[in-house]
Amino acid sequence: MKIIDQKNAIFHTNSKVVCTFSSSFSGKWVDFFKKCKLENGACQKNKGFTLIELLVAMVISTVVAAAIFYAYQGQQNAQLAQQQIVDMQQVIRTAKYIMIKDIRMAGYDPDGMAGAGITAAGDGSVGNPLGFTFVADGDYRDNNNDGTTDEPGELESVEYDLYDADSDGDSDIGRKVGTGSRGVIAENIERLVFEYLDLNGNATTDLSEIRSIQITIEARVDFNEQRQSNVNNRILTTVVQCRNLYF
């Protein structure tokens, strides 16, 4: 390669002009030429990525990818935790609604002849139920299994306690009506506690003195699910006035 015109920075190789620059570039073409090379008759910049630059780019890409992954995983865990909380709250609210509706009927006996009232004052643990009766002679059922439907003063009995419905290690709240089998009204229950109060709000074990019942339900995450680190058991406590026992 030889220079044809130094002033106008004209380069020549193999009798062919391959790069030209105007005179305004005079004095700078040498510096530019040092940064270029002639390859196949073309003037190209001799630039590229060094190994260090490639390694830095790979490290940055890895860090960004890891950040995206952990952000996604954190979002997934937060969503699962929220769902577990919602499930537990729904369980105890459902159980509360059903039990309050039943317990308020305890002792319902319009004629005062059937002897309705509290029949068992267990604490709610396995084998220690809360039991009560009330007159149900208008429900079109044979509640006392004597072969007669809706006979006057016919009593219906209800029991509540904990039991393991499907032997999976999780306790469930069972509801038993009459001589039938228990039915599950709430699953994954850690604790069910009944406390019995008299007219003055003091604890009592005398069935005839019971006027209200305090219910405590503690729900937990299903044993088959992985508990999220920020999810704790949910506890609900409420007091039910047994209005039919005041008379």
What percentage of the chain reaches a pLDDT higher than 70?
Answer: 71
Average pLDDT value for residue range 178-205: 93
Mean pLDDT score, 224-244? 83
Half-sphere exposure at residue 48, Cβ-oriented, CA atoms within 13 angstroms: 4
Torsion angle of the four alpha carbons 55, 60, 62, 68, in this order, in degrees rounded to the nearest 10: -170
pLDDT of residue 31: 55
- The arithmetic mean of pLDDT across residues 109-121, rounded, is 89
DSSP state of 44: E
Residue closest to 212 by CA, chosen among 234, 238, 239, 194:
239
Length of the chain: 247
More confidently predicted of 122 and 145: 122
Distance CA 163, CA 160 (A): 10
pLDDT, tens digit (0-9, with 9 covering 90-100), for 50-98? 889 889 999 999 999 999 998 888 888 788 888 888 889 999 999 999 9
